[in-house]
A and B are shown apart, each in its own frame.
Chain A
Amino acid sequence: MLALALRMILGAVFLFAGIDKILHPAAFAEVIYNYQILPDGFINLSAILLPWIETLIGLSLVSGIWIPGATLLSATLLSVFLGAILFNLARGLDVDCGCFMAADGAGSSTSILWYVARDGLLLLIALYLLMPALPLKRR
């Protein structure tokens, strides 16, 4: 039952996040741009494709189709997102404005830490859901 609830939560998050980005591709592209991680040429492509992948992951989790694949993908995506956030946190980049923050202060604002915690938690959920898909006990 816990697994079902977690699956629904993870699915809902991906569904809502994905649909929101589908509806606002330009805004999402700008966010990607502000992360300053991808080369310019890849930005729009990512902004176009990623939301649909996220939405399908969400649909899959919620509907129960291809769950193992969806959880693996979700774990992968979450790892990538988390990595990107941590990377920028480490180099002091404020992704809201794309500017590097002054050394003196708000090095990490609460919202960045919130994203880290949120994505970290979702990643744990995804990994937890992934486990049953891979029978680890040898016969």
Chain B
Amino acid sequence: MKRGLGLKKAVFQVLRQSALILILGMALGIAVNQVRRDGIPWVMDWSSEPGLNLKTRKAITISIEEAEQHFLYGDALFLDARPPQLYEQSHILGARNLPLELFEGPMDRDLTNVSKEALIVAYCEGERSFLSKGLALELISRGYKNVRILENGWNQWLAREFPIEAGAWGEKPR
């Protein structure tokens, strides 16, 4: 930069460059989104978005009481979305382990005898329920129609001292 450039000129230069980057960026964004196959719509109705946004998540979240009911009736498949090590330490009695990271491969194998209409309750640990949310989203996108999330499931289950067990998936007869 030239020495002696006044402050005003310098400020203008900075602003001009910023504007250029902004405009160029926006132009590229618009152009690429138009042509790419996985572009997203300019405006979307977020209240009906199929992903797990707020509203959908509220719709498929079940309470611990409901989860207990289903557990007692035996009409739900509980899926533990946590890593295998945690699952093996202990998990909800009768739950299967379907860790979020094993999406592509083992998942289909583990759920081959589960109908798409079956009631599935996904749970993991923590208020964010990040793992079970991801698992639920993946299940829904694969066509499972009755997926529910038990938020902060593991902790709630433990707090109420509901039945749990330990052991790796597949160790015991199902």
Q: Residues of A with Cβ closer than 8 Å to B?
A: 22, 25-26, 29-30, 33-34, 40-41, 43-45, 47-57, 60, 66, 68-70, 72-73, 76, 94, 96-99, 101-102, 105-106, 109, 130, 133-136, 138-139
Label chain A's interface by main secondary structure: helix
Residue of B6, B20, B40, B53 near A25 (CB, 8 A) is: B40
Query: Cα distance A5–B171 when bound, in Å?
Result: 54
Q: Residues of B with Cβ closer than 8 Å to A?
A: 1, 4-7, 10-11, 13-22, 24-26, 28-30, 32-33, 38-47, 49, 51-54, 57, 127-130, 133
Query: Cα distance A9–B42 when bound, in Å?
Result: 32
Q: Are A69 and B20 in contact (CB under 8 A)?
A: yes
Point out the residues of chain A lying under 8 angstroms from B18, CB to CB. Answer: 69-70, 72-73, 76
Q: Are B30 and A136 in contact (CB under 8 A)?
A: no
Q: Which chain B residue shows the least CB distance to A32?
A: B46
Label chain B's interface by main secondary structure: helix
Point out the residues of chain B lying under 8 angstroms from A60, CB to CB. Answer: 21
Query: Cα distance A106–B7 when bound, in Å?
Result: 47
Query: Cα distance A133–B21 when bound, in Å?
Result: 16
Query: Cα distance A45–B39 when bound, in Å?
Result: 11
The distance from the CB of B123 to the nearest CB of chain A, in whole angstroms, is 14
Point out the residues of chain B lying under 8 angstroms from A73, CB to CB. Answer: 18, 21-22
The distance from the CB of A42 to the nearest CB of chain B, in whole angstroms, is 9
Q: Which chain A residue shows the least CB distance to B4?
A: A139
Q: Are B130 and A68 in contact (CB under 8 A)?
A: no
The distance from the CB of B128 to the nearest CB of chain A, in whole angstroms, is 5
